[in-house]
Homo-oligomer: A and B are copies of this chain.
Amino acid sequence: MKKILMLVMTLASAAGLSAQDAVPAGVETLASPDGGLSLKFTVTENGEPCYWLDYRDKPVVLPSTLGFEFRGTQPGPKFAFGETLAILPYGEPDDFHSGFVAENVVRSSFDETWSPVWGEESEIRNHYNEMAVTLRQHSTDRLMIVRFRLYNDGLGFRYEFPEQDNLTYFVIKEELTRFAMAGDHTAWWIPGDYDTQEYDYTESRLSEIRGLMPSAITGNSSQTPFSMTGVQTALQMRTDDGLYINIHEAALVDYSCMHLDLDDRDLVFTSCLTPDAQGWKGYMQAPCRTPWRTVMAVDDARKALASRLILNLNEPCAYEDVSWIKPVKYMGVWWEMITGKSTWSYTDMQSVKLGSTDYSGSVPNGRHGANNGNVRRYIDFAAEHGFDQLLIEGWNIGWEDWSGKSKDYVFDFVTPYPDFDIKALNEYAHAKGIRLMMHHETSSSVRNYERHIDAAYGLMDKYGYNAVKSGYVGDIIPRGEHHYGQWMNNHYLYAVKKAAEHHIMVNAHEAVRPTGLCRTYPNLIGNESARGTEYQAFGGTRPHHVTILPFTRLQGGPMDFTPGIFMMDIENFNPQNHSHVNSTLANQLALYVTMYSPLQMAADAPEHYQAHMDAFRFIKDVAVDWSESRYLLAEPGDYIVIARKAKVPAGQDKTSPEAGDGACRRPQWFVGGVTDENARTVEFSFDFLEPGRKYEATVYADAEDAHYLTNAEAYVISTEKVTSKSRMKIYMAPGGGFAVSIREIM
C-alpha cells in the first residue's frame, strides 16, 4: 500500500489524544498481536515525526517527536586558530527533525519461534506487527524511514537512512528521540555516564532524580556523568496505575550508546548519545540504520522478566557452527586480589616498562596471587568439584602500574610473570579435566590491545584456552574517546568477531551494556557492564541491587555477576579490608537462579567453600543453561522468585559426583528467591512440575535469625517431598533469599 498522509493535526492537539479518542486523519495506527498495545504515529504541522503508545486505556508514551541534528555540512571559518579541540570549523547544525512529510507507510506481520544457542528457555517466540513510515524532508530532499515493531510486551523502533543522492555521509550532532512520560513514575535508575555503569541503583520518582543525583554519583576509575537528570538504560519504571515501563535499546552496532536526559518539568526523556573525542555523536554512511529504541510496557513485573523484546529485535545468529560455544561454570584466582589479600602484580615496583623492565631480576612482593602453587591449589579444588574452567588474573607482566596512568603500552597479553608457568599449568588443568580461563585486562589502552590481539588469541589457541575475560578499566586510549561511544562499540564487536575466528568465547567487563547482541554473536557469553559482586569488597552494595538488575542490566544480556561469596566479613580474609558483603549466604546461592547467565562463577576462595560444603552442594548442582523459566514472584527493588528447568539433563551435569546413578537422579528444576533489605515470607506453587510425578526438594534457606549485616552466614538446609500440587512458604531474612534444587524420585 502507498498513500500520502494529510497533515492536519498539531503536536498540541496530539498531546490531548489517548486510545479512547477517535483517530483523526493523518494518524497511522499499529496494534500489537494481542491488541493490548496501540501505537500511533503522525507528522505535526511543523513536519516533526511524532509517535505515542498506549497500553489498553493507559498511556505509556505521550506524543513524542523524533529526529536528529546533523553536524552542519556548510564549513565554517576556514582557519580557526586555537580551535583544534572544537567542533568548528562547521556551520549551523542541519535540522533533520522537522519539515518532514510522510510519503509511504508499509505494514507487515511476523511470527517465528527460534532456539537460542543458550538461554533462559530453549525456544523463543518472535511475534510482532510492523509499520515502516517513509519520511521526506522536502527542503533537503532527504529520506528517512522510521520502522516500528510492536510486540505484546513492548515497542521497538529504529531510524533507517536508505541510499539516496542527498544523504550519504553525515555526522550526528545529537539524536532527538523523545519519550514523554504520562506521570511522575517511580524509577530504578543509575546516573547517566559516558564511561561507567558501575553505580548502585536509586529508587525515586522521576521528579526526584535531580535532587538525588549528587549522592547517586559515586567514584569510579573512569566516569563522565553528563547531566543532573541524565540516567542510563535499561531504565525500569512503574506507574501509579500499575504499568511497568522499561526504556532501552537493542542491536547497538556501529553507533554510539544511548542515554536518557530528563526534562523534569515536563517529564520528557530525550536521547543523549555518547560523544566522541570531538563531541560528535556518530559518523554514518547510508544505507545505514540506528539501533532499536525500545519501550517495554506490561501490567505485571513478572512479565518484564519474561520479556524477550531485546533479543527478538536482534539479528539471528551470524555463525554457521556454534558447537564450540558452551555455557561455563568456573572458579577464579580473583576474589583474593579483589579483596586485597593478594596482588595482581608480581613485584612492588612503582613503574615498569614492558621490554626493558627485567622481571626475572626483580624482587617478588611475595603476595602475587597467580603463582604456580596457588593456581594448582585452585585447579585441584575446581576439578574435584566438577567446574569447567578456572580464571587466573594477574598472570601476565605489567600489573605494577597498569591503572590510572594513561599508559599506552601497558600489557602485551602474552608474557607470563616468572612464577606463572603457562605451559605446565594448562597441562595440569587439562589432565584434571578442566581448562584455564584467559584474562585480558586492557587498561582501556585499546590501540595497544588491538595491536596484540592476534598474538594474544594465538597464545590461547596454543595452550588450549577457549574463553577470555577482558577488561576496560580506566579512561580510554585513544584519549578523549568514551567507553560507550561509536569508536569503542566498534572495538568491542571487533574483539568478539575476531575471537569467533579462534572459537573463543568472550566475557567483556566494563564494555558497553549489552543490547541483545548475544543472539547474533553467541560467543559473547557474558559482560559485566554494571556494578558486580566486586563492590561488596569495595565498601558494599545495597541488598536491593539484585532485585533490580534482572529488570535493567540483564534485559540486554547475561551478566558475569560473580556470585557465591560465603565469607561475608572480608576482614576475616584480608584484615586490612573492612568491607562487608551485604547479602546472606542463602541469597548468594539464589543468585545462580535469579541472575541468569550461561557463565556462572563460584567467586569465593576454596577454603571458604570447604567451610560450608553442604551449602556449596547447591553451586555444584545448579545448571547454567535452561529449557524453561518461570517467573513466580517479582517486584523491582523488593523481591524476585524464579524457577528454571535445566536444559542439559541433570544426569549429565558433571558437577554432580553421582552423575548417572539411577538411584538418585540429578536435580532438574531449581528455584531461587531474593529479597531486598526487608525480611519477607513468600509462598509459591510447584505447578511447574510434571503432574503425577514425585520429587524431592532440597531447600537452602536463611536461618530464622539470619541477617545480611549481623548474621549473614546462618542458613538451614532441609528436604521435603513435593509434587506439582505442592505449595511452599518460605522466609527470607533481611538481605536474604533461598535456593531450592528439585530432583525426581521413584
Cα(A278)–Cα(B85), bound, Å:
6
A407 adjacent to B494 (CB under 8 Å): no
- Measured between beta carbons, the chain B residues less than 8 angstroms from A481 are 478
Q: Is A451's CB within 8 Å of the partner chain B?
A: yes
Identify which of A221-229, A365-373, A635-643 touches chain B: A221-229
- Contacts A283-B408, A286-B351, A353-B285; A480 near B224 (Cβ below 8 A): no
CB under 8 Å from chain B, chain A span 324-341:
none
Identify which of A29-37, A76-84, A134-142, A299-307 touches chain B: A76-84
Chain B residue nearest in CB terms to A498: B451
Consensus secondary structure, chain A interface = loop
- Measured between beta carbons, the chain B residues less than 8 angstroms from A407 are 169, 285
- Measured between beta carbons, the chain B residues less than 8 angstroms from A408 are 283, 490
Q: How many residues of A contact B (CB 8 A)?
A: 49
Q: Is A406's CB within 8 Å of the partner chain B?
A: yes
B454 adjacent to A84 (CB under 8 Å): no
A277 adjacent to B480 (CB under 8 Å): yes
| Interface hub of A85, A401, A408, A481 (most chain B Cβ within 10 A) | A85
CB under 8 Å from chain B, chain A span 187-218:
194, 217
- Contacts A86-B85, A494-B451; A277 near B225 (Cβ below 8 A): no
Q: Is A479's CB within 8 Å of the partner chain B?
A: yes
- Measured between beta carbons, the chain B residues less than 8 angstroms from A490 are 408
B169 adjacent to A85 (CB under 8 Å): no
- Contacts A84-B194, A447-B447; A479 near B277 (Cβ below 8 A): yes
CB under 8 Å from chain B, chain A span 470-503:
478-482, 487, 490, 494
A479 adjacent to B84 (CB under 8 Å): no
Cα(A194)–Cα(B168), bound, Å:
29
Q: Is A350's CB within 8 Å of the partner chain B?
A: yes
- Measured between beta carbons, the chain B residues less than 8 angstroms from A224 are 84
* Cβ 8 A contact of A480, one of B276, B350, B451: B276
Q: Is A658's CB within 8 Å of the partner chain B?
A: no
- Contacts A353-B285, A450-B450, A480-B480; A81 near B225 (Cβ below 8 A): yes
* Cβ 8 A contact of A79, one of B225, B276, B277, B353: B225
- Measured between beta carbons, the chain B residues less than 8 angstroms from A556 are none
Q: Is A279's CB within 8 Å of the partner chain B?
A: yes
CB under 8 Å from chain B, chain A span 260-295:
275-280, 283, 285-286
Q: Is A405's CB within 8 Å of the partner chain B?
A: yes
Q: Is A163's CB within 8 Å of the partner chain B?
A: yes
B351 adjacent to A285 (CB under 8 Å): yes
- Contacts A285-B353, A479-B280; A405 near B84 (Cβ below 8 A): no
What's the nearest-Cβ distance from chain B to residue A445, in Å? 11
Q: A447-B450, A454-B454 are in contact. List 7 more A-B contacts (CB 8 A).
A: A84-B482, A85-B277, A85-B480, A169-B351, A277-B480, A283-B479, A478-B487
The 5 closest A-B pairs by CB, nearest first: A277-B277, A478-B478, A277-B480, A278-B480, A169-B405
